[in-house]
Amino acid sequence: QKVFIINGPNLGILGKRQNNIYGNKTLNDIEDNLKIIATKNDIEIIHLQKNSEGEIVSILNEIYISYCDNSKSENLKRNLIGIIINPAAYTHTSIAIRDALEVFNETKVPIIEVHLSNIFSRETFRHKSYISPIATGVISGLGSYGYEAAIFKIIEMGKNA
């Protein structure tokens, strides 16, 4: 059973980027911790960080075609138990990423939107998320723990599916 974790632009420099807002952990630190949780719970995580909108859309399209397309077997469909996405700045601008995620709403695959910072306590342009209306859940302001919470929820949902 697989969980995809997709991180958007500028998250590759976490740990060196506005530490007061985003914390001291690097993306590798976050990934290593999530891998420990994944191993303990007998799931696999696939982590990708991309700076461009098109690449994120392509990845989501590929995930959909590989695991959720109706031509796929039920077994293969059950392999994908969730997607965790921090679309970073594209949260506030990207209809394309929203559309690419919305197709999963027809499947049982949960989509969890994660933000390290509390986007609602920051500039007003960050208050709007194109992604939240089509997400299963949204976590904002819990720092790197947000990814952990998301993975635990996906594991729980996967077990009850």
Contact status: 49 vs ligand DQA (CB under 6 A) = no
Residues between 67 and 86 with contacts to ligand DQA, criterion CB under 6 A: 86
Q: Which of 5, 27, 45, 116 binds ligand DQA (CB under 6 A)?
A: 116
| CB of 48 or CB of 89, closer to ligand DQA | 89
Catalytic (active site) residue 47: no
Evaluate the CA torsion angle 116, 20, 89, 44 in order and state its sign: negative
34 with 47: CB under 8 angstroms? Answer: yes
- Rg over CA atoms, the chain: 15
| Between 119 and 154, CB nearer to ligand DQA | 119
Q: How far is the CB of 53 from ligand DQA (least distance, A)?
A: 13
33-42: which pairs have CB atoms within 8 A and are 24 or more residues apart?
Answer: 33/144, 33/148, 34/5, 34/147, 34/148, 34/151, 37/148, 37/151, 37/152, 38/3, 38/151, 41/155, 42/1
Q: Is 115 in the site for ligand DQA (CB under 6 A)?
A: yes
* Annotated catalytic residue 22: yes
Kindly state the greatest CA–CA separation across the chain. 47
119 binds ligand DQA (CB under 6 A): yes
For ligand DQA, give the closer residue by CB, 94 or 117.
117
Q: Which of 67, 115, 130, 147 is catalytic?
A: 115
What does the alpha-carbon distance between residue 6 and residue 83 come to, in Å, rounded to a whole number?
Answer: 8
Q: Kindly identify the residues of this chain, within the stretch 4-43, that bind ligand DQA according to CB under 6 A.
A: 10
Of 97, 91, 102, 84, give the one whose Cα is nearest residue 58.
97
Q: Is 91 in the site for ligand DQA (CB under 6 A)?
A: yes
| Chain residues in the site for ligand DQA (CB under 6 A) | 10, 86, 88-89, 91, 115-117, 119, 126
